[in-house]
């Protein structure tokens, strides 16, 4: 028997996906501010303090929930969408950049999932969106996400977003996978997360892949992304601020002139 609201959903699109959630009367979906796309008549929208999982336990509980979200770089507030009419109604949320939306049934994965900051999109009411401290000093200092990652707890559906293509992989007991730190989207609570120095002078200075790998040790399930938002942002910045002479000769210069550059 689930304690969280039980929702149905439909993921649509390819590169720029959206998730459409079907609500029965009195069911509620929670979402990050700015992810809303549309909703049917009968659904009411309410801004709530914190993550909505402790709304009946007093102001201090709400304040603690909001504070945890602030530490992970999220807003103090979330938006709740509750179906107040009859029959079924749908509300939709859109991905913030090109990639894939990952549906996660927390009941199936032991009630807890660890994910990178800013990856959470929406969830059924009752799912707690908190923080996960990295216990190892090296992981916190050099792991790419710092000491703090997001933690999703409950037995309902949660939806995360990742950049580019998403790969799900099952690790056997003792199996280790070395990963670029930015490519980790989420992993189950059984996974042992650590970092490893790349090693080698040439690799360190000229490799261009950073100084450290993330190492994930099974058993458990992990999700990886091909295009971390940090990598996409750095490429856009370098393209916008760099010298573009290599793109063009005479025709390239003519194009820049016509474009007003």
Q: Does the structure show a pLDDT above 70 at 118?
A: yes
- Most confident among 85-94, 117-126, 229-238 (mean pLDDT): 85-94
The predicted model gives 115-128 an average pLDDT of 88
Answer whether residue 221 shows pLDDT above 90. yes
Per the prediction, the chain carries an average pLDDT of 79
**pLDDT at site 132:** 77
Report the CATH number that the domain containing residue 205 is assigned in CATH: 3.60.160.10
Cβ neighbors of 260 (< 8 A, separation 6 or more) are none
From residue 218, how far is each of 114, 162, 176, 225, 247 by CA, in Å? Answer: 14, 22, 6, 18, 45
Domain membership of residue 247 (yes or no) is: no
Could you tell me the pTM of the whole model? 0.78
Domain of 151?
A: 8-239
Band (36; pLDDT cuts 50, 70, 90): very high
In angstroms, rounded to a whole number, what is the distance separating the alpha carbons of residues 73 and 225? 20
The tens digit of pLDDT for each residue in 57-81 reads 555 555 555 555 555 555 667 899 9
Binned at pLDDT 50, 70 and 90, residue 257 comes out as very low
Task: With respect to residue 245, please indicate whether it lies within any of the assigned structural domains.
Answer: no
Write down the pLDDT at residue 71.
56
Q: Is residue 125 part of a domain?
A: yes
pLDDT at 244 over 50: yes
In a domain, 251, yes or no: no
Write out pLDDT tens, residues 134-169.
655 454 455 454 457 888 999 999 999 999 999 999
Per the domain annotation, does 246 fall within a domain? no
- Is residue 139 domain-resident? yes
pLDDT score for 30: 92
Count of structural domains within the chain: 1
Please determine, for residue 203, whether its predicted confidence score (pLDDT) is greater than 60. Answer: no
Is a pLDDT exceeding 70 seen at residue 202? no
Across the range 206-217, mean pLDDT stands at: 68
- The pLDDT value recorded for residue 22 is 96
Q: Looking at the domain assignment, is residue 257 inside a domain?
A: no
The string of DSSP codes covering 45-62 is: EEEEESSSTTTTS-HHHH
Nearest Cα to Cα of residue 115 among 155, 176, 158 = 158
- State percent of the chain over pLDDT 70: 69
Over range 33-52, report the average pLDDT: 87
Going by pLDDT thresholds of 50, 70 and 90, the confidence category of residue 258 is very low
- Give the phi and the psi of residue 244 in degrees, each rounded to 5: -105, 25
Q: Is position 164 within any domain?
A: yes
C-alpha span between 133 and 72 (Å, rounded): 10
Q: How many CB atoms lie within 10 A of CB 104?
A: 21
Strand residues in 110-155 grouped as ranges (E):
112-115, 120-124, 128-133, 148-153
Are 213 and 188 in contact, with CB atoms under 8 Å apart? no
The predicted pLDDT at position 250 comes to 46
Of residues 118 and 119, the one with the higher pLDDT is 119
């Amino acid at each position: 028997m689930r304690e969280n609201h039980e929702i149905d959903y439909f993921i649509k699109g390819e590169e720029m996906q959206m998730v459409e959630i079907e609500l029965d009367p009195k069911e509620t979906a929670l979402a990050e501010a700015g992810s809303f796309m549309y909703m049917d008549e009968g659904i009411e929208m309410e801004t709530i303090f914190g993550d909505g999982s402790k709304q009946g336990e007093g102001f201090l509980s709400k304040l603690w929930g909001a504070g945890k979200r602030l530490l992970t770089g999220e807003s103090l507030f979330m938006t709740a969408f509750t179906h107040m009419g009859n029959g079924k109604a749908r509300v939709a949320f859109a991905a913030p950049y090109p990639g894939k939306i990952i549906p996660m049934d927390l009941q199936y994965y032991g009630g807890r999932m660890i994910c990178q900051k800013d990856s959470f999109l929406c969830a059924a009411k009752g799912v707690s969106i908190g923080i996960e401290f990295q216990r190892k000093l090296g992981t916190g200092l050099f792991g790419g996400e710092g000491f703090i990652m997001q933690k999703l707890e409950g037995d309902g559906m949660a939806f995360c977003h990742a950049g580019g293509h998403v790969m799900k992989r099952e690790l056997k007991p003792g199996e280790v996978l070395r990963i670029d730190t930015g490519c980790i989207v989420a992993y189950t609570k059984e996974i042992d997360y650590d970092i490893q120095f790349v090693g080698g002078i040439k690799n360190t200075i000229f490799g261009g892949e950073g100084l450290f790998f993330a190492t994930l040790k099974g058993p458990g399930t992990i999700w990886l992304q091909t295009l971390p938002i940090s990598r996409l942002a750095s490429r856009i910045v370098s393209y916008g601020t760099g010298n573009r002479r290599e793109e063009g000769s005479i025709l390239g210069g003519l194009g820049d002139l016509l474009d007003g550059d």
